[in-house]
């Protein structure tokens, strides 16, 4: 029998009533002859509520205990969902991350999935049961409960589908993947298909629909992922291996990230060891650096600028303090008036002149940029916040996104 | 270093603020040089709230999923409590029933503890950590999360103390064990000590402070159990092995159970197999039968009466229907106008005439009874509800409880 992994997010399971409505949709898949695994998130605002309790308990709660606390949210969801399906006459069973064999490694609150022992899931599927798996969580080698960080339930679903060699279907509040966020550009087109590479690039660049990690896993295992509406019966978007038709378009998508700040470090001695030292320290503190530029001056000094996410503000400041302790003449500032606009398209590989066209568009619209970086299939600009919507407009209009 | 197991119930951990107040009391024990294990229940009304969700999800939720659901309550408590202690500068770690090595067997929602692998707890204690253990839960041989039924957190605490060869201290809303429930008899005396046997008898007979199962475990392992107030610094009651001084009193306690109904089965053929059949069916349905009487008639028929708890009403009725299907002339009714009043005292073993005195007291007060049963250290009467308070008064007054 064919298997499918369905994933439902927190807002679609925010009440028992909503779960009952979803159950109908799940049972249609079951009745169509599929073995069904359902990954569910915590109900509605549960995770936020638990985090509030944690911060009431401690100003800096231990991350191991945060994981222990937050993982209860999904456990409640799978229990209730399983009861609902059983009540409708369909045998079902709920499994925590631990019970579902989801082995993780890494740091608490941001673990990664190391492997999944799907034998218990397969056993229950072969018994004819619908298996509900708690998203976002797993168990580490110490037997401690771990969570997967932001977008973790998507990661659970895609990793499970990869291991079970089937498709993953992610049901959310949006109808699919758009070339541009419709809230920024109301004429945005919904895509029927997008390649793993484009989606990954868009996710890294700030598109909020899917986390990059899930797409990476899907890409590695060639697991097709569907993203669609949890509530409406309208076609969504398939994320899958690229084919020739996809390469015809030079640009498939545009994404905007506001969760970005630019860090300028000036007057570092122009030696590779100083550059290395800076980025090793940042990495040691788990700070993901995105765009980097460096410029050398005749006086033997260099300036380095990089972007990172706003959450890292405190951590970045403390790293930079250790740098200035060692290199006292070094100066730094952090620019929070930033937004990153990126265009993505696997067509860029074969079509020339896309970058040139983009520079011309921005220049004609009198939009300056602070940083620019390019990859094989994307170009990203860091702009001032005031220019965000105009940049989206001129690019989306020109490339018919 | 000496170890102690402390247990706090749901109403004493109903908010983070209350937990912080309790943390101070726990740290006093730690500062006094003890290794501390703390068993906590779910916060306040959490368990009831989760049960409401379960009944919204399904009219007859699967018991396995009920356990999966309810166990999140204690997991939230240990996470938050651990954060609070860490925040106060005391290393602490929260362990679920599974992580604490609590192995259970039996039926979901009413499992019993089979064994506890305390090695992880001991490891953390030797690291100088305060160990918070989720009460009421464990894991069965299938890896499924189980719960221990009513009073389960007390059972967790006493079983842990037994395995760690230390005392258990149960902190609750009451100040200790009373000879009579003070709500029924305001002049009731709080006991400094009570023997395992008396406490077990009183618990079985309806005293609500401790569940019989915990006392059984304590008795088996000779684990001293203290019951006291979670909020006030007043002496509570030690439950421990009996000594000579305890035997001087003929009666230590009186307990009243209102959760009782009497089942009368009439016109069964007076053969042992019919009696056996009835009680085997009841046992198969997990119905605990308490008092039993049987009377034979010259016509070859017998009447059987027994008491059981009110929750079993539906189940008892369906069992009795199968009996009348097989023995059509048999009749039955259920009497819910029942209350059970029991007196307990290990002194009864050595002092004669206690039963006679009780019969005389009830008779003088013109109180009739429906059933009476005696054990080595207790006598129980089933009375009409209207006679409850008068019976308590005459007995408590006569025996200075």
The pLDDT confidence band at residue A235, using thresholds 50, 70 and 90, is very high
Q: What is the pLDDT of residue A295?
A: 79
Is residue B226 in a domain? Answer: no
In this structure, of B44-48, B106-110, B181-185, the range with the lowest mean pLDDT score is B181-185
Q: Do A61 and B86 touch (CB under 8 A)?
A: yes
* Mean of pLDDT values over A28-34: 94
List all residues 6 or more positions away from B252 whose beta carbon is below 8 Å from its beta carbon: B179, B191, B194, B195, B198, B246, B344, B345, B346, B347, B401
Q: Do B68 and A94 touch (CB under 8 A)?
A: yes
Is residue B201 in a domain? Answer: no
In this structure, of A23-27, B2-6, B39-43, B281-285, the range with the lowest mean pLDDT score is B281-285
Residue B204 pLDDT > 70: no
Asked if B40 and B155 sit in the same domain, the reply is yes
* Number of domains observed in the structure of chain B: 2
- Of A335, A360, A379, the domain-final residue: A335
Q: Do A87 and B16 touch (CB under 8 A)?
A: no
Q: Do B80 and A69 touch (CB under 8 A)?
A: yes
In this structure, of A45-49, A148-152, A390-394, the range with the lowest mean pLDDT score is A148-152
Q: Which residues pair with B132 in a beta bridge?
A: B38, B94
Phi, psi (degrees; rounded to nearest 5) at B363: -65, -45
Asked if B270 and B150 sit in the same domain, the reply is no
pTM over 0.80: no
Q: What is the pLDDT of residues B335-394, one digit of tens each?
A: 999 999 888 887 776 666 777 788 888 888 888 888 887 777 888 889 999 999 999 999
Q: What is the pLDDT of residues A90-105, one digit of tens each?
A: 999 999 999 999 999 9
Residue B247 pLDDT > 60: no
Contact B275, B248 (CB under 8 A): no
Note down the domain range covering B329: 261-335
Output A5 or B175, whichever has higher pLDDT. Answer: A5
Interface residue B179 vs chain A (CB under 8 A): no
- Of B335, B369, B385, the domain-final residue: B335
A253-257/A339-344 β-pairing: antiparallel
**End-to-end alpha carbon distance in chain B:** 39
Asked if A153 and A53 sit in the same domain, the reply is yes
Interface residue A66 vs chain B (CB under 8 A): yes
Residue A247 pLDDT > 60: no
| 3 state SS of A127 | coil
What is the nearest CA distance from A75 to chain B, expressed in angstroms? 7
Q: What is the pLDDT of residue A292?
A: 82
Q: Do A79 and B99 touch (CB under 8 A)?
A: no
Asked if B10 and B132 sit in the same domain, the reply is yes
Q: Which of B19, B57, B87 sits opposite A59 (nearest CB)?
A: B87
- Of A117, A147, A172, the domain-final residue: A172
List all residues 6 or more positions away from A107 whose beta carbon is below 8 Å from its beta carbon: A63, A286
Quick count: other Cβ atoms within 10 Å of Cβ B384?
15
Q: Which of B53, B58, B143 sits opposite A86 (nearest CB)?
A: B58
Q: What is the pLDDT of residue A322?
A: 92
Is residue B256 in a domain? Answer: no
Give me chain A's average pLDDT, please. Answer: 89
Q: What is the pLDDT of residue A103?
A: 96
Q: What is the pLDDT of residue A3?
A: 97
In this structure, of A108-112, B155-159, B205-209, B210-214, the range with the lowest mean pLDDT score is B205-209
Phi, psi (degrees; rounded to nearest 5) at A223: -95, 115
Interface residue A165 vs chain B (CB under 8 A): no
Is residue A133 in a domain? Answer: yes
Cα torsion for A136, A142, A143, A147, to the nearest 10°?
-10
SS (H, E, C) B128-155: CCEEEEECCEEECCCCCEEECCCCHHHH
Interface residue A96 vs chain B (CB under 8 A): yes
Asked if B295 and B150 sit in the same domain, the reply is no
Q: What is the pLDDT of residue A96?
A: 97
Residue A348 pLDDT > 80: no
Is residue A355 in a domain? Answer: no
Asked if A165 and A282 sit in the same domain, the reply is no
d(CA B393, CA A46): 50
Q: Do B60 and A94 touch (CB under 8 A)?
A: no
The pLDDT confidence band at residue B398, using thresholds 50, 70 and 90, is confident
Instruction: With CA atoms as reference, report the closest residue to B217 among B134, B112, B103.
Output: B112
Is residue A344 in a domain? Answer: no
* Chain A with chain B: Cβ pairs closer than 8 A: 119
Q: What is the pLDDT of residues A275-316, one digit of tens each?
A: 888 888 888 888 888 888 777 788 888 888 888 989 889 999
A86: chain B residues, CB-CB within 8 Å:
58, 61-62, 65
Q: Which of B66, B69, B83 sits opposite A54 (nearest CB)?
A: B83
Is residue B202 in a domain? Answer: no
Give me chain B's average pLDDT, please. Answer: 89
Asked if A165 and A281 sit in the same domain, the reply is no
Asked if A37 and A167 sit in the same domain, the reply is yes
B59: chain A residues, CB-CB within 8 Å:
87
Q: What is the pLDDT of residues B214-226, one digit of tens each?
A: 898 999 999 999 9
Asked if B13 and B159 sit in the same domain, the reply is yes
Asked if B34 and B160 sit in the same domain, the reply is yes
Percent of chain B at pLDDT > 90 equals 55
Residue A245 pLDDT > 80: no
Instruction: Return the CATH number at B284.
Output: 3.30.70.260
A80: chain B residues, CB-CB within 8 Å:
53-54, 57, 65, 69
Phi, psi (degrees; rounded to nearest 5) at A393: -60, -50
What is the nearest CA distance from A167 to chain B, expressed in angstroms? 27
d(CA B369, CA A86): 46
The first and second tokens of residue B176, run together, are 């200790």
Is residue A320 in a domain? Answer: yes
Asked if A163 and A274 sit in the same domain, the reply is no
The pLDDT confidence band at residue B244, using thresholds 50, 70 and 90, is low
Residue B254 pLDDT > 70: yes
What is the nearest CA distance from B129 to chain A, expressed in angstroms? 14
d(CA A378, CA A310): 22
For the ranges A388-397, B278-287, B369-378, the one whose mean pLDDT is highest: A388-397
Residue B32 pLDDT > 70: yes
ipTM: 0.73
Instruction: Return the CATH number at A77.
Output: 3.40.1160.10
Q: What is the pLDDT of residues A207-233, one digit of tens each?
A: 667 878 889 899 999 999 999 998 888
* Mean of pLDDT values over A146-173: 93
* Mean of pLDDT values over A353-357: 76
């Amino acid at each position: 029998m064919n298997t499918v992994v369905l994933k439902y997010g927190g807002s679609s399971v925010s009440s028992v009533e909503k779960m009952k409505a979803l159950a109908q949709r799940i049972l249609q898949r079951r009745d169509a002859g599929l073995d069904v695994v359902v990954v569910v998130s915590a109900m509605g605002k549960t995770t936020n509520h638990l985090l509030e309790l944690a911060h009431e308990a401690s100003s800096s709660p231990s991350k191991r205990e945060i994981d222990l606390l937050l993982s209860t949210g999904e456990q409640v969801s799978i229990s209730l969902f399983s009861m609902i399906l059983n009540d409708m006459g369909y045998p079902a069973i709920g499994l925590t991350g631990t019970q579902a064999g989801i082995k993780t490694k890494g740091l608490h609150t941001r673990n990664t999935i190391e492997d999944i022992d799907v034998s218990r899931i397969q056993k229950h599927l072969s018994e004819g049961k619908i298996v509900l798996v708690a998203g976002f969580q797993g168990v580490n080698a110490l037997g401690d409960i771990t969570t997967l960080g932001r977008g973790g339930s998507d990661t659970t679903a895609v990793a499970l589908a990869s291991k079970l060699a089937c498709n993953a279907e992610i049901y959310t509040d949006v109808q699919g993947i758009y070339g541009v966020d419709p809230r920024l550009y109301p004429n945005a087109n919904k895509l029927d298909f997008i390649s793993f590479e484009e989606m990954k690039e868009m996710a890294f660049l700030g598109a909020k629909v899917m986390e990059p990690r899930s797409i990476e896993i899907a890409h590695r295992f060639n697991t097709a992922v569907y993203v669609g509406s949890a509530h409406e019966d309208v076609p969504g978007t398939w994320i899958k291996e690229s084919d020739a038709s996809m390469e015809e378009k030079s640009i498939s998508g545009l994404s905007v990230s506001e969760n970005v700040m630019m860090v300028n470090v000036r007057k570092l001695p122009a030696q590779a060891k100083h550059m290395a030292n800076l980025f090793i320290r940042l990495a040691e503190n788990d700070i993901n650096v995105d765009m980097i530029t460096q410029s050398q001056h005749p006086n033997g000094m260099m300036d380095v600028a990089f972007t990172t996410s706003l959450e890292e503000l405190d951590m970045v400041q403390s790293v930079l303090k250790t740098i200035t302790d060692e290199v006292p003449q070094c100066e730094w500032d952090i620019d929070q008036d930033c937004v990153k606009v990126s265009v993505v398209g696997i067509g860029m590989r074969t079509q020339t002149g896309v970058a040139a066209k983009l520079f011309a568009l921005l220049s004609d619209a009198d939009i300056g940029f602070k940083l620019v970086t390019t990859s094989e299939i994307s170009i990203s600009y860091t702009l001032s916040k005031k220019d965000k919507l105009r940049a989206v407009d001129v690019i989306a209009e020109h490339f018919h996104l």
